[in-house]
Structure 1
Amino acid sequence: MEAFLISAGIAALAELGDKSQLLAILLAARFRAPLAIIAGIALASAVNNGLAATLGEFAGEWFTPDHLRIVLALSFIAMAVWMMVPERDSGDSPRMMDRLGAFGASAISFFLIEMGDKTQIAAVALAAHYQSIAAVAAGTTLGMMIADVPAIYLGEIATRKIPLRMVRAAAAVLFLLLALLALMDYFRRFLYA
């Protein structure tokens, strides 16, 4: 249960102000079919996070828990830095997205946009740490949905009132705190060993 809950929280945090939320807003504006968009995002997230968690569990078999704590801390630091990098427009063709429909456009675009993204990297690190593909994949998928579903309904309004730069800065600070906690756990083991 811990792996599921931690994974969900980290993924939700990683998605704050991310390009996937911006994509969710764009898809909602174009198709006006929130349930199809949500279903497409859920499918893409589950497949993507399942692949990442599988890779992470195998990596966890090759490294000691102490190595994994350092990798987890470094991945949190990388995510904190990454949160401050502005997203670029992916340049997807509107015609292609219209032909796919709301579900297809959402599933394909979300799958592609999340390849190598913060959440996928976190899923690899978390699965390596917890050695639980199902819990990490389900948790990171839920976390993505927690962040992206409200973006479909409320994202446009929120970005008018809260600058994206502030959202990114707050998420970066939280990732740095998570990194600090992971490093403290790593060094605590040496102090009390």
Structure 2
Amino acid sequence: MDSLIASFLTLILTETGDRTQLLAAALAIRFASNRPVILGLAVASLINCLISAYAGSFIDQWVSQDPVRLFNGLAYLLAGAAMLAWRRPVDLLKGWKTGPFLTAFLGIFILQFGDKGQFIIGANAARADHWLFPAIGGWLGTLVAVVPAILLKERLAKILPISKIRIGGGVALCLLGLIHALKAWHII
């Protein structure tokens, strides 16, 4: 259950102001329809979360606890660094001739595949009792972070201090990752 909460909170943090949130809001504006974009987001994120958690569950079977803790620390450290780093602009998929659901589903699925959220979920799954808990937590965290961007669109940036959230969250995740890595090396 801890892995569900950890994935939930971490994905809310990492998706705030991230490219998934920006793309989803842009697609809601482009198609002037929230429901198919939310549905595309939900399905794409669920599939990505299930893939990453299931893959992460195999790591625990192959290696001892210290490398799993190191993997967890590195996932958090790199996610924090990614939150602090410059981000390239989001492709708004204007050339895609598909409808709102398919554009949202494929665009978000591709954007999230191999992203920091997948590594966080995979790392949490490697330490979890069951891989489904971090998958559900990550999926719900993504929805909590991105659905308001779809509903509020550009107003979200006025409501939330997104740059401060990204800086604070990035620093917090880097520190958490460093602590896990140092524990894996038995330094602390």
* Structure 1 residues 107 and 86: CA distance shift in structure 2, 3 A: same
Give, in whole Å, the separation in 1 of the partners of 2:162 and 2:2.
30
The Cα shift of 1:178 comes to: 2.5
Contact 1:80–1:171 (8 Å) recurs in 2? yes
Give, in whole Å, the separation in 1 of the partners of 2:50 and 2:159.
35
Alignment partner, residue 21 of structure 1: 21
Determine which of 138, 144, 147 is the counterpart of 1:140. 138
Structure 1 stretch 20-29 or stretch 173-182: which is displaced more? 173-182
**Secondary structure in structure 2 of the residue aligned to 1:130:** coil
Alignment partner, residue 52 of structure 1: 52
Contact 2:23–2:91 (8 Å) recurs in 1? no
Contact 1:60–1:131 (8 Å) recurs in 2? no
**Secondary structure in structure 2 of the residue aligned to 1:116:** coil
Structure 1 stretch 68-77 or stretch 162-171: which is displaced more? 162-171
The one-letter amino acid of 1:7's match is: S
Contact 1:24–1:148 (8 Å) recurs in 2? yes
**Secondary structure in structure 1 of the residue aligned to 2:98:** helix
The Cα shift of 1:184 comes to: 6.7
Q: How many residues align?
A: 188
* Structure 1 residues 100 and 131: CA distance shift in structure 2, 3 A: farther
The CA RMSD measured in Å over matched residues stands at 2.2
Alignment partner, residue 2 of structure 2: 2
Give, in whole Å, the separation in 2 of the partners of 1:190 and 1:75.
19
Alignment partner, residue 123 of structure 2: 125
Uncovered stretches (5+) of structure 2, i.e. residues with no partner: none
Give, in whole Å, the separation in 1 of the partners of 2:132 and 2:109.
18
Indicate whether 1:41 and 2:41 are aligned: yes
Give, in whole Å, the separation in 1 of the partners of 2:2 and 2:45.
20
Structure 1 stretch 159-168 or stretch 106-115: which is displaced more? 159-168
Contact 2:13–2:165 (8 Å) recurs in 1? no
Contact 1:123–1:136 (8 Å) recurs in 2? yes
Indicate whether 1:108 and 2:137 are aligned: no
The Cα shift of 1:161 comes to: 5.8
* Structure 1 residues 184 and 66: CA distance shift in structure 2, 3 A: same
The Cα shift of 1:131 comes to: 4.6
The one-letter amino acid of 1:67's match is: P
The Cα shift of 1:93 comes to: 3.9
Aligned-pair identity (%): 30
Uncovered stretches (5+) of structure 1, i.e. residues with no partner: none
Give, in whole Å, the separation in 2 of the partners of 1:150 and 1:157.
10
The one-letter amino acid of 2:164's match is: M
Give, in whole Å, the separation in 2 of the partners of 1:31 and 1:92.
12
